[in-house]
Amino acid sequence: MKTQDLIAVLATQPTPVQPARSLRVLWWAAAGGALLALLLMLATIGLNPALGATASSESMFWVKLGFVGSTALAGFVLMLRLAQPGRAVGRVSWLLGAPAAAVWLVALAALLSAAPDERSALIFGQTSLVCPWLIAGLSLPSFFLLLLALRSLAPTRLHTAGAAAGLLAGALGASAYQFHCYEFAAPFLGIWYVLGMLIPAAIGALIGPRVLRW
């Protein structure tokens, strides 16, 4: 078939991506990645033995859960829109920063109310050197599945789609990691958890055009 004939066929017989299919494919990829991240956490670093007592007595446990959960939700909605050509991102990109902004406000209040010699502990805790890397490591199963899901759809903004996949994977990795982590200070979360989620997002932005090209 000549090139001009092929163009004519494609122009007269479009096959748009169905929103329901995009939702189904990305949902199963995210759900499967979240489950694999949880299993990987249990098999490697293990569950926090004081998790039950912490969840019932530490309000920041639920703040942390809301932070990573809302980031994952915003990342999922962004990915869903990027998977469909011509679909406007709208205000979702702004909503991505809202959970982090809320944690940073709580962190600022905590730092201002703490004594000067206590602020370093609030920021660095005991696990700042490993926290971002463990989150990024736990994000790998989700990252792989989400990139495969995007490849089966039709993203056109490949840098952004790759970054969104990485951010969602990072949020799912952080969601699994929090069941091991015993750091609850808001300054710690606002720095090291955010960094852990941004590592796969940055990698996704870099490799997006290569792995998502269709």
> By three-state DSSP, how is residue 206 classified?
helix
Give the integer Cα–Cα distance in Å for 181 and 94.
28
Confidence bin at 86 (pLDDT 50/70/90):
low
pLDDT > 90 fraction of the chain, expressed in percent and rounded: 65
Residue 94 parent element (H or E): helix 92-113
Average of per-residue pLDDT across 57-62: 85
Confidence bin at 163 (pLDDT 50/70/90):
very high
Per-residue pLDDT tens over the stretch 131-156: 999 999 999 999 999 999 998 887 88
Q: Residue 18 gets which letter from DSSP? A: P
Predicted local confidence at residue 1, as pLDDT: 46
Q: Residue 50 gets which letter from DSSP? A: T
Residue spans of the domains in the chain: they are 17-211
Predicted local confidence at residue 91, as pLDDT: 73
Confidence bin at 13 (pLDDT 50/70/90):
very low
Per-residue burial over 110-139, b = 16 or more CB atoms within 10 Å of its CB, e = otherwise: bbeebeeeeeeebbbbeeeeebbebbbbbb
> By mean pLDDT, which of 46-55, 129-138, 166-175 is the weakest?
46-55
pLDDT > 70 fraction of the chain, expressed in percent and rounded: 89
**Pairwise pLDDT comparison (213 vs 24), residue with the higher score:** 24
**Pairwise pLDDT comparison (72 vs 155), residue with the higher score:** 72
CB-based contact 111:118 (threshold 8 Å): no
pTM, to two decimals: 0.87
Predicted local confidence at residue 22, as pLDDT: 80
CA dihedral 178, 180, 183, 187 (to 10 degrees): -30
Dihedral sign computed on CA atoms, order 199, 205, 209, 214: positive
**To the nearest whole number, what is the mean pLDDT of the chain?**
88
Predicted local confidence at residue 2, as pLDDT: 47
Given a cut of 60, whether residue 5 has pLDDT beyond it is: no
Confidence bin at 9 (pLDDT 50/70/90):
very low
Token look-up 């004594």 returns 115
Per-residue pLDDT tens over the stretch 92-115: 777 888 999 999 999 999 999 999
**Pairwise pLDDT comparison (154 vs 207), residue with the higher score:** 207
Q: Residue 116 gets which letter from DSSP? A: G
Predicted local confidence at residue 14, as pLDDT: 44
The percent helix, strand, coil of the chain (3-state, each to 5) is 75, 0, 25
The two tokens of residue 123 are 């920021």
